[in-house]
Structure 1
């Protein structure tokens, strides 16, 4: 579990130091006070990933200048990351510098992030669903993150070559070989994950909805069963459109509820329930396959739920897992008996104190 968190010049926090018990912590305060930034700092420290931004410069307290630091004790190790505009990111574990993202993540823990933006998993673009699978995949399969990085770099290079009016077929072929090598691990892992997620999501959908509902998840690789053949068949189209059109960067995760497309036919309540079920399924799959409970970062989702669904989510969250929860008030959590072993913190204008 995560025992402590310290940040310097991160988002609205000039400095922050807090200790959290095994059960976790509940962070209360009005909107735009810094609650979500605390959870984001945990996500960065553990997974080198922000669910809110891909640009490190936007996370520095003074936008566009300086940098930030995040550290803490997690799973019995002292972990530290720093980002500076001039030097980029560096990281260390127990005082020992780690040379790469992969080395830093190799002995880190697992996370599940739940937020109101999860509704986009059901009704947003395919990119949102690919990010969902990628975040799980990087925790599920040790080589996934490296394969994804290599694949993305190859696609970016290929797209630049496709925009060149000169014939660059030989160079395009060399990047496609990298794409093919990396894509194999990506598609195999994604297919395996979807097969594991489907029954868990169906179970949680019924638990939260209070009635059985059929959930079907289908992984559709954009290159089909033979990506090499798909690349060959798409070659003329890609030249015309000057863009790489097939491969894992175009994969789709299709969701159906009671036999119908969830984005088109499910009600907003059903869509929100399905988004919650997908995240709960993520936690179960990671716990069962990695033999370790993830930490749950739960960002202000309960205000959007009716009492029945709110209580259902609290009931199915793993009791033994550590949870970091943000909310504007504690009344509903006290009433549901959900505090348990969790500490309470008040967040206001970039400060956090134990309540």
Structure 2
């Protein structure tokens, strides 16, 4: 869990300092006041990841200069992230040379938000990000393999667009894609096996109905990435882009055997999104033997009482929870939030 969180020039906060009990905290306020940014700061501190942007400058407070800093006591370690054109990472006062070493002994996180509905309705890219966020927390070498694969893919695509493609160079990048892509495919297959029974059970628990949620991993290169690239070679050279590999994978979601995106009702789709995130938390705990922290952004106020209470009941009682909401009207009907600090957030100020 996190005991403290401090930030300087992050999003709308010139300064931020919080002490959080083991149970967690509830942050209340209108939209666009800074509530989500608090959870984002936690995500950056723990996983060097923002669910809102890939651009570090976007997280720097407007008009403050060229960087931001986040620090805090997390899992009994003092961790610090500073960005000023590059990342400066420290743990217990000792510098960490790169993200890999910084994340190696970091904690686990689950982010839950209304945008999770895109996991069901949106493109395959969102579902790949869902798997990537899990993989980077529980699979050794996953984050490194993903970064190498993306660099090789970018280089290959640039070469394919050349009027006179250099075949030898293309094939050298394909070798990198095959090596790292195969690791990603194997890891994603293991993750889906870990997630499937847990997501199915969560779907029934949250919906209160006998709904069968199915997860099927569909690797774009099949079981043999090298053979798939050979088969796609002529098409890729003709259309000048890469069609085969983990960057085209998908996770098929079904409810009672039918596509959740096409045939599930809005209520069912929301339940699927919740079930996927609850399953993520259980999978992380099973793989690493410790509970994740749950960052829950403006979810409970949008749920009907039945699903809200089901989700609260499904969350591990001893896990720390950071919750944002625009109002507390729903809180009187729910249980399981005892011992949590409550804060009001207004225009980047917390009381």
Q: What are the superposed Cα offsets for residues 32-56 of structure 1, whole Å, 9 maximum, x if unpaired? A: 1000000000000000000000001
Moved more, 323-332 or 21-30: 323-332
Q: How does 1:174-323 map to 2 (within 5 A)?
A: 174-323=172-321
Is contact 1:12–1:34 with CA below 8 Å preserved after alignment?
yes
* Offset, 1:63: 6.0
Contact 1:77 1:93 in 2 (8 A): yes
Contact 1:58 1:64 in 2 (8 A): no
Task: Find the residue that maps to 2:6 and give its secondary structure.
Answer: strand
Structure 2: give runs of 5+ residues left out of the alignment.
Answer: none
Residue 41 of structure 1: aligned partner = 41
Q: Deviations over 1:46-75 (max 9, x none)?
A: 000000000011110026941100000000
SS across alignment from 2:319: coil
Query: Given the superposition, is the C-alpha separation of residues 64 and 251 from structure 1 closer, same or farther in structure 2, using an over 3 Å criterion?
Result: farther
Residues 284-318 of structure 1 show CA distances to partners (whole Å, capped at 9, x for unaligned) of: 01101110000000000112211110111011100
Provide the rounded CA distance (Å) in 2 between the counterparts of 1:200 and 1:60: 38
Deviations 1:157-187 (A, max 9, x none): 0001001112311001111111111012111
Task: Answer whether contact 2:305 2:333 (CA < 8 A) is retained.
Answer: no
CA RMSD, 1 decimal? 1.0
Correspondent of 1:169 among 159, 167, 179 = 167
Q: In 2 relative to 1, CA 63–154 (structure 1 residues): closer, same or farther, beyond 3 Å?
A: farther
Q: Deviations over 1:179-206 (max 9, x none)?
A: 1110121111100111111111110101
**2:23 paired residue number:** 23
Query: What is the alpha-carbon distance in structure 1 between the residues aligned to residue 167 and residue 143 of structure 2?
Result: 28
In the alignment, does 2:7 pair up with 1:7? yes
Q: Which runs of 5+ in 1 are unaligned?
A: none
Deviation at 1:218, TM superposition (A): 0.5
Match of 1:80 in 2: 80
Q: In the alignment, which of 109, 132, 145 is matched to residue 134 of structure 1? A: 132
Secondary structure, counterpart of 1:190 in structure 2: helix
How many Å apart are 1:92 and its aligned residue? 0.5
State the distance in 1 between where 2:78 and 2:2 align.
Answer: 10
Q: Distance in 2 between matches of 1:331 and 1:74?
A: 31
Describe the superposition over 1:223-253 as per-residue Cα deviations: whole angstroms up to 9, x where unpaired.
0111101111111111121111100000010
Q: How many matched pairs? A: 351
Structure 2 CA distance for aligned equivalents of residues 2 and 64 of structure 1: 27
Paired with 2:188 and 2:324, the residues of 1 have a C-alpha distance of: 30
Tell me, yes or no, if the aligned pair for 1:57 and 1:65 is still in contact at 8 Å: no
Displacement of 1:339 after TM fit? 2.3
**Kept after mapping to 2: 8 A contact 1:221/1:248:** yes
Contact 1:79–1:94 (Cα < 8 Å) also in 2: yes
Q: Return the offset for 1:332.
A: 1.4
Query: TM-score when scaled to structure 1?
Result: 0.97
8 A Cα contact 1:57 1:63, kept in partner: no
Distance 2:233 2:88 in 1: 40
Report the TM-score, using the length of structure 2 for normalisation.
0.98
**How far did residue 334 of structure 1 move?**
3.3
Alignment partners' CA distance in 1, 2:260 and 2:239: 31
Alpha-carbon distance in 2 for matches of 1:132, 1:197? 11
- Counterparts of 1:334 and 1:34, CA distance in 2: 24
